[in-house]
Amino acid sequence: MTRVLSFPAGVLAVAIGCLWFIPSGRLWMAETWSRLGSSNLNLRTYETVVRPAADWVRSFRLQHGRLPGAAEFSDYAKAQFPSFSVVLDDTQPSWQRSWGRQGVDFMVCVHVDEWNLYLQSWDRAEWKSWTD
């Protein structure tokens, strides 16, 4: 009798595990595959877009004593990087855990392929998030 009850319980446990692990595993594999496939593109984008955009914002702040406005940055980004979506955050987004000094520090974000590439000015950290 115990064997008869344990078999359905085992099948049920495996079925529940598959319902949870298979979608999670599929998502993990998709992100990993994208990370590997996009690594060279992401590195080149950091070198040719993200870092130069952050350097421009730093030099703008030194010259003008303030961060560029949205229109000023947009004009620069469209002229320099016409095939990229480049965004300047000059205030802390709600999801961002840390922030430097208000009015001085900023974050540049570039969307490329399936990734958002970030550079934060206060500690020069570079990181990315998968947009799937």
Note the pLDDT tens digit of each residue in 24-70.
555 556 556 555 556 787 789 899 999 999 999 999 999 999 999 99
* pLDDT recorded at residue 129: 79
Q: The domain containing residue 87 runs over which residues?
A: 39-130
Domain presence at residue 65: yes
Domain presence at residue 110: yes
Count of alpha carbons within 13 Å of 90, Cβ hemisphere only? 13
**Would you say 49 and 81 are in contact if contact means Cβ atoms under 8 Å apart?**
yes
* pLDDT recorded at residue 12: 60
> Does residue 106 or residue 126 have the better pLDDT?
106
Domain presence at residue 98: yes
DSSP-assigned beta bridge partners for residue 118: 109, 127
What is the pTM (predicted TM-score) of this model?
0.73
* pLDDT recorded at residue 81: 96
Work out the mean pLDDT of the chain and round it to a whole number: 82
Domain presence at residue 24: no
Q: Give the total number of structural domains in the chain.
A: 1
How many whole angstroms separate alpha carbon 122 and alpha carbon 58?
Answer: 11
Domain presence at residue 19: no
